[in-house]
Structure formats: structure tokens, C-alpha cells
Structure 1
Amino acid sequence: MRQICVFLIVILLNSCGYFNVKKTSSETFLNEELQTFKWNDVDEYPTFSLCDSLSTKQEKKECFTSVLTGHIFKHLQEEIIVVTQDINDTIDLKLQVSEMGAIILLETKIDSLTIQEIPNINDLLTESLEALPKIFPAIKRGQQVTTEFKLPIIIGVN
């Protein structure tokens, strides 16, 4: 009986290590979370009210870009642009949609011929963005966030 008691005490003392709980500090947890966090992806892209009825993330993204490019094209078509040479150019716009839904033109990449023929092209693009309908910002983990994206615009003037 005595051997059994000694054996149980030894097992009990050795098993105490199994009950230790490993504590994770908040900094360690934060670092692990930041490593798994996808910084270049959002849960929902910026959107217009026209795109609310769509269900998938990709459909909403395509709707947003098509409404945006359509609005820019419409605004440019309303302008009277006189050129001496035919222009077929792709303009790359770098845009930012703030967490409040404001859109800002950060950068444009325009061919020198296009700038020469249409010197106010930057102003026309900025004006077209100012007349956009209300934009709902992108959402990441339930929070509205600022997003940046590139949008190619094909300009053809004859």
C-alpha cells in the first residue's frame, strides 16, 4: 500500500506541469495578428448606392469602377475639346477614397502628346471627380478605411 501511495504522489507531482497555462501577452497576440493581417485587401470595396444591390465583392468592385469611368467619360464628352492631331491614349489615374467617402486624384500618368493637345486635361479630370454621386468608403473589419487604387482611362479624340 505504501508503494502505491508513493507512486501516486510521484505521478501527482509530475502531472502538475500539465496544468500550467501558457500566458500570451497582448503584444505577442498583436504581433501574431498583424502577421496574418492582409494590408492590401478590404472586406468591401468603395461603392456607390447604385451598386448596393449586388452581392459579391467582385461584382461591387466592377460596378464601382464602371460607374466611375462612365461618369468621367460622360463629363469629358460634354466638354468641347479641339485638337490638331488624333489622340488615342490611356491615362492612368491614381485615386484615393477617404474613410469619409471623399475622392482625391493623387496622380495622373498622361502622354506628353495628350498634354500638349489638351493642356487642361488634369482640370477636366478633377472636375469630373468633384461631380460624382456619394461614395461609400471601403470597409475593413467593420471599420471605414481609406483606399487607393489605379484606374486606366482610354481617351480617343479625333
Structure 2
Amino acid sequence: MKKLLPIVALLLLQSCQYFEKKVPNEKELLDKQLKEINWNEVDEYPSVADCEKLKDATLRKQCFFEFLTATIQQKLAIDTLSTMFPKLDTIEVKVTVLPNSDMEFEPQFPKDSVAYDTIKIDSILRVRLVDFPKVNPAIKRGIPVKTQFVLPVIIKSE
């Protein structure tokens, strides 16, 4: 046992060099972290209360988009949009969910959309697309962030 003690002490003294590691500069560490973040993806997509109970992120995302599309279609179905523009069957709506849970809607028209009165359609959409249920914003690294996406909305003639 007495012979083992000096050997262990010698090993401990020799191994101290392995504990000295270069601590990275705070700017280098920040740059490395910023490069690792995928800025085009969010950790959690926006959601509504009905979709919150789903555990799978893909199902929750799908639920949110289906809910939003159905709600927009329902709000537009009560208008004369389909009778005023019978050739218009689908409108692409750019949806923006802000970090404070507010939502903005902007119709997207093709470049050759001279056949439609885009100003009139835009005004109808802005009037109809109000009073949405509360939407929880997207989350990126624990912080609510702004998200944008385009939804194709089918206009049903009734």
C-alpha cells in the first residue's frame, strides 16, 4: 500500500496538464452558436387551443394549417366573392402570425391577375378575416417569433 501511494500521487501530478483546457472566447462561442441555429425553421409552429393537446409536432402543425384553412374558407363562404368572381376558385393567402399572437392576412395574386379586381378582393378579405380565435405564436429557442406562410384557400360557391 505504501508503494502504491507514491505512484498514485505521481499520476495525479502528471494528469493536471489534462485539466488545463483553453476556454473559448465569448465572441467565438457566440458565433459558433449562431451558425448552428437554423433560422429558417422554428422549434414549435403556431398553434390553436384545439391542436395543443396533440403531442406529435407534425400532427400539431397539420392540425393548425387545417384549422386555419377551414376557418378562412368558412369566413369567405358567407360573402359574395364566388358570385362576383365566378372564375376565381382558389386564393392564396399569405398569413403572418406575429409574436404577440396577432394575425395579418394578405391575398397573393398571380402576376397576370388583371382579370380580377385585386383591390376589391383584397378589401373583401380584410373585412372578412377578422375575429380569429387566439393563436399561439411560433417558438424559436423559447422565444415567440413572427412566422409567415401561404395557404391556398378554396372558395366554395354555394
TM-score by length of 2: 0.76
SS at match of 1:93: strand
Q: Give how far 1:125 is off.
A: 2.0
- Residue 137 (structure 1) shift: 0.6
Structure 1 regions of 5+ residues with no counterpart? 1-13
Q: CA deviation at 1:47?
A: 0.9
1:115 maps to amino acid: Y
Q: How many residue pairs end up in the alignment? A: 146
State the partner residue of 1:49: 49
- Please give the residue correspondences for 1:1-158 in structure 2 after superposition, counting only pairs within 5 Å: 18-81=18-81, 82-83=83-84, 86-106=86-106, 108-110=108-110, 112=113, 115-116=116-117, 120-155=120-155, 157=157
More moved, 59-68 vs 18-27: 18-27
> As a proportion of its length, which structure holds more strand?
1
| Aligned residues with identical type, % of pairs | 34
Secondary structure class of the residue paired with 2:129: helix
Whole-angstrom CA distance in 1 between matches of 2:115 and 2:133:
28
Q: How far 1:114 moved relative to its partner?
A: 6.0
Judge conservation of contact 1:94–1:106 (CA < 8 Å) in 2. Answer: yes
Q: 1:144 and 1:100 mapped to 2: Cα distance? A: 8
The amino acid of 2:38's aligned partner reads K
SS at match of 1:120: helix
Between the aligned partners of 2:115 and 2:157, the Cα distance in structure 1 is: 10
Mapped to 2, the partners of 1:89 and 1:120 lie a distance apart of 16
Task: Give the Å deviation of 1:139.
Answer: 1.0
Q: Distance in 2 between matches of 1:90 and 1:79?
A: 14
**Greater displacement, 136-145 / 107-116:** 107-116
Shift in alpha-carbon separation, 1:31–1:106, aligned structure 2, 3 A: farther
Following superposition, the deviation at residue 23 of structure 1 comes to 1.7
| Residue 44 of structure 1, CA deviation | 1.1
**Structure 2 counterpart of 1:130, one-letter code:** V
Could you say if the C-alpha distance between residues 94 and 60 of structure 1 is closer, same or farther in structure 2, counting changes exceeding 3 Å?
A: same
Q: TM-score when scaled to structure 1?
A: 0.76
Query: 1:133 and 1:59 mapped to 2: Cα distance?
Result: 19
Native 8 Å contact 2:77 2:156 kept in 1: no
